[in-house]
Amino acid sequence: MLDKYSPFHMAARACGDYFRLSRGLGVFEQITVIAHSLSWTLGLILTQVLFDAVAASTVYTNFWYIGTPLAILVLITIFQQVISGASDFLFVKASYNNMAKFMMRLQYKLSKLAAIKFEDTDFLNDIDRSKNCISNQVLGMFAYVCLRGITYYFVLFASIAVYLFYLSPLLGLVILMAFIPAVFGQIARVKLFSNLEDEVAALRRKNDYYKQAVTSKRLFNETRILGAYIYFKNLFIETLTLINKKTWKTEKKAFLMRLILNLVSIIGLVVSIILLFQATISGDISIGAFAAIFAVLSQIFSIMQDAVSDSLSKGSRYLGQVKNYYRLMDIEETKKEDGIFDIDKGVEVFDVSFSYPNRSDLAIKEVSLSIKKGETLAIVGKNGSGKTTLVRLLIGLYSPDKGIVRVAGLDTQKVNSKSIFKGVSAIFQNFQRYKMTLEKNVCISDTKKPVKKEEIIKVLDYTEFNYNNINLDTMLSPEFDGIDLSGGQWQRLSISRGIYRKSDFMVLDEPTSSIDPLEETKLYNQFRNISKDKTVVIVTHRLGLAKLADRIVVMENGKIDSIGTHTELIEKEGVYAYMYNLQAESFKSTLSKI
């Protein structure tokens, strides 16, 4: 049984996708390709007829005896040029259409996979390979090469081989003997380029990041200020050099294989010419057949060389990337059941442990917690204590390795995230700055409900968003002839986005880091009024804000160190009291200097 990702399976799958996505356009394009290939054999036969007619002609021969095959041959030549251009045009059109469809399929697939997979470096490399495969039209070109091998080269060589075998069995066999070893030689090249793709995928991702560090708007300013431009430039050159070195090494091996394949084709051509002369001298074929075959023999071998050394070579080169794409598309999606979100059941965590992919240490260790409906819970702790990871478990973004998490009565390991997210609103520290209008930046959090401008303005007012002579239709992106906002304004906008979304369970993970503490306290006091009927979890480093919560969870090394109200935790004089007093002293010191 052939491997699921063998060249034959990949070829069949890519061709099937090409036809399904391009619909009738792809079928019509292949019909033109078949017509083009058959025209070659028809032209060869008519060339023989023409030369035989010329050889047998006399001064009294009717003009139409010679003129008819000549006229048809001219028409076939014109037809070949027209049909070749038409097939190329149809392929380009189908390829561009398919590229967008392939990318949509990939994005849809990624949306169905567990969020934890995006923490896996190997998986990110697979995504990078797959995107390159689509955006560089590798997948479409691979399908094109495979289809061309069947509908053009196979039909062409099969029809010519039948014609030559009819004239002389040895002529047909020589072409096959020259062609078949070359095909198997090219198949051997597949492993070379598959291994190359595996080696350079991670390097390419690093190289892209280093390039962004010195060119992208998001990273450029800081890179320049830090004086790190040369540093990142050197890293970019270093990784690019390594990629080129590995590619060149593979290309050299591929060149040697190609050289050998060309020699095989040349030997086949020489032997064919010798046999052609012998067949003519012995009277096995006519002078017209000799002239016709001799005239196109070099073209036949040139086409064969193109088929083997170019098209099949491209196919072997593309196969590694195509294989990565289909492996990603074949990742099994976790099938979970639907459920009904009922916040009356609160949020429950039982003996939960969790680790990130390719990590042996646990990020969360044997945590148990219960949050009641309408309760506001603050989660605090040092950096790396597990706060954000715990929050992602609480909203069902990640599933635990051990234990149970129930969000509004829904087990996150059994119920799909779509059912859970219906009742959840989350504002993360690394929020998105969508390159859209102010209005769309708010209402994107709940696209299913009708847009009401007065409601958008209301939530923006709650967060004291400063309009600064802009309105809801203002584009928030200089790249699209709009404007940019300050960090604090963007953060207020992200909070407005979270409030706008209708939800029973809201999570805020360091959502106000760009807002000064005084404004932040004011904002949270306003937020308490807005969220009084919601179940809320706040993750913050600013412990003064934790006092607003009904209870405070203190995280330490992935475990819950303590739980209680602000007063209870201060009286315990533990980790929370130490952190709170330290921040209070720092804040007093800052105020005294103002």
For 110-141, how does the pLDDT look when each residue is reduced to its tens digit (9 = 90+)? 888 888 888 888 888 888 888 888 877 788 77
Query: Is there a contact between 25 and 44 (Cβ–Cβ < 8 Å)?
Result: no
CA atoms within 13 A on the CB side of 8: 4
Which of 285-294, 456-465, 571-580 shows the lowest mean pLDDT across its residues?
285-294
| Residue 60 reports pLDDT greater than 60 | no
| Residue 214 reports pLDDT greater than 70 | yes
User: Quick one: pLDDT at residue 308?
Assistant: 61
* Rg of the chain on CA atoms, in Å: 35
pLDDT in tens, 375-405: 989 999 888 888 889 999 998 888 999 999 9
Find residue 377's DSSP bridge partners.
Answer: 537, 551
| Residue 296 reports pLDDT greater than 60 | yes
Q: Which of 426, 415, 343, 381 is nearest to 563 (CA)?
A: 381
| Residue 358 reports pLDDT greater than 50 | yes
| Position with higher pLDDT, 215 vs 417 | 417
- Amino acid in position 123: F
**How many CB atoms are closer than 10 A to CB 218?**
9
| Residue 279 reports pLDDT greater than 90 | no
| Residue 553 reports pLDDT greater than 70 | yes
The CATH classification of domain 338-423+506-588, taken from the options 3.40.50.300, 3.40.50.150, 3.90.1150.10, 3.40.50.1110: 3.40.50.300
- At 370, the pLDDT band (50, 70, 90 cuts) reads very high
User: Quick one: pLDDT at residue 267?
Assistant: 75
Longest dimension (CA), the chain: 124
User: Quick one: pLDDT at residue 584?
Assistant: 72
Q: Which of 162, 151, 176 is nearest to 44 (CA)?
A: 162
Mean pLDDT of 140-169: 79
Query: Is there a contact between 439 and 472 (Cβ–Cβ < 8 Å)?
Result: yes
**How many CB atoms are closer than 10 A to CB 530?**
16
Q: Which helix (H) or strand (E) holds 42?
A: helix 24-56
| Residue 319 reports pLDDT greater than 70 | yes
**Alpha-carbon gap, residue 228 to 233, rounded angstroms:** 8
Helix (H, G, I), strand (E, B) or coil at 536: strand
* Stated length of the chain: 594
User: Quick one: pLDDT at residue 162?
Assistant: 82
Tokens 């929370």 locate to: 576
Tokens 């049909």 locate to: 83
Residue spans in the chain of domains classed CATH 1.20.1560.10: 7-329
**Percent of the chain at pLDDT above 90?**
8
Mean pLDDT of 159-166: 80
The tokens of 286 are what? 């006519």
By DSSP bridging, strand 410-411 and strand 364-371 are unpaired
Q: Which of 296, 289, 285 is nearest to 39 (CA)?
A: 296
Residues 532-552 as b or e (16 or more Cβ within 10 Å = b): eebbbbbbbebbbbbebbebb
The conformation of residue 430, written as its DSSP 8-state character, comes to S
User: Quick one: pLDDT at residue 365?
Assistant: 93
Q: Which helix (H) or strand (E) holds 375?
A: none
Which of 169-183, 278-292, 430-444, 468-482 shows the lowest mean pLDDT across its residues?
169-183
Which of 55-64, 87-96, 195-204, 445-454 shows the lowest mean pLDDT across its residues?
55-64
**Strands of 258-358, DSSP E:** 347-354
Query: Is there a contact between 11 and 150 (Cβ–Cβ < 8 Å)?
Result: no
The tokens of 12 are what? 């069949």
User: Quick one: pLDDT at residue 220?
Assistant: 61
Q: Which CATH architecture has domain 7-329?
A: Up-down Bundle (1.20)
The tokens of 214 are what? 């010195």
> DSSP of 436-467, one letter per residue?
SBHHHHHHGGGTTSPP-HHHHHHHHHHTT---
Mean pLDDT, all residues of the chain: 80
The conformation of residue 59, written as its DSSP 8-state character, comes to T
Mean pLDDT of 215-232: 68
Name the pTM for this structure: 0.67
Dihedral angle computed from the Cα positions of residues 141, 144, 149 and 152, in that order, rounded to the nearest 10 degrees: -140
User: Quick one: pLDDT at residue 410?
Assistant: 92
**How many CB atoms are closer than 10 A to CB 286?**
17
**Percent of the chain at pLDDT above 70?**
82
For the range 88-94, what are the long-range contacts, defined as Cβ-Cβ under 8 Å and sequence gap of 24 or more? 90/25, 90/28, 90/29, 90/32, 91/29, 91/144, 93/25, 94/18, 94/22, 94/25, 94/26, 94/29, 94/140
The tokens of 154 are what? 């196979």
Instruction: Sort 279 into a burial class: Cβ within 10 Å, 0-12 / 13-18 / 19+.
Output: buried
Cβ-proximal residues to 101 (8 Å cutoff; 6+ apart), any chain: 21
**Strands of 275-375, DSSP E:** 347-354, 364-371
pLDDT in tens, 6-34: 878 888 888 888 777 777 777 777 788 88
- Amino acid in position 248: W
Residue spans in the chain of domains classed CATH 3.40.50.300: 338-423+506-588
Query: Is there a contact between 544 and 512 (Cβ–Cβ < 8 Å)?
Result: no
Cβ-proximal residues to 71 (8 Å cutoff; 6+ apart), any chain: none
User: Quick one: pLDDT at residue 1?
Assistant: 46
